[in-house]
Amino acid sequence: MEIQKLLQLKWDKLNQLKENYKRQSILLLNKDWESAFKLINTGEQIAYEIAQIDEKLVFLDEKTELKIKNDVINLLEEVILIHENVHQSLEAVLDEYRFELNQISVKRQLSTYLNRNLEEIEK
C-alpha cells in the first residue's frame, strides 16, 4: 500500500511540475522574463521532492516487485518534453540578453574611443 501512496504522490508532483513548466513557457512566449525566471526555483523544488519520492520507491522496490504504470512513464515523458521546450526558450532569452549586452559594450567602447579622438583633435 505504501508503494501506491508514493506513486500517487509522485504522479501529483509530476503534474505540478508539468503545470509549472507550462506556465513558464507561456510567460516566456509573452516575454515576461522576470516571472518566468522566478518559476525556476519552484520547478527545482518540485523536482527535488520527486527525487526524494524516487529514493523511497527504490528502497521499497528492493523488497517488492514494482511495476511502474504506463501512465507515470507517459507523464514523465511529457514533463521532459515540456522541460526541454522551456529550457530552449530560456536559452533564447539568455542569448538575446547577451546580444544586447554586447551591443551596449560596443557602443560604450566606441563612445570612449571617439571622445578620446575628439579630445586629441581639439588639442
Predicted confidence (pLDDT) at residue 23 exceeds the cutoff of 80: yes
Q: Which three cell numbers stand for residue 32?
A: 515576461
pLDDT of residue 45: 93
Residue range 26-52: mean pLDDT, rounded:
88
Polymer length in residues for the chain: 123
* Domains in the chain: boundaries: 2-122
- Rounded Cα distance between 9 and 54, Å, is 10
- Rounded Cα distance between 29 and 32, Å, is 8
Average pLDDT value for the chain: 84
Classify 76 as helix, strand or coil.
helix
- Rounded Cα distance between 72 and 6, Å, is 12
Task: Dump pLDDT digits (tens) for 59-115.
Answer: 776 665 555 667 778 888 888 888 888 888 888 888 988 999 999 999 999 988 888
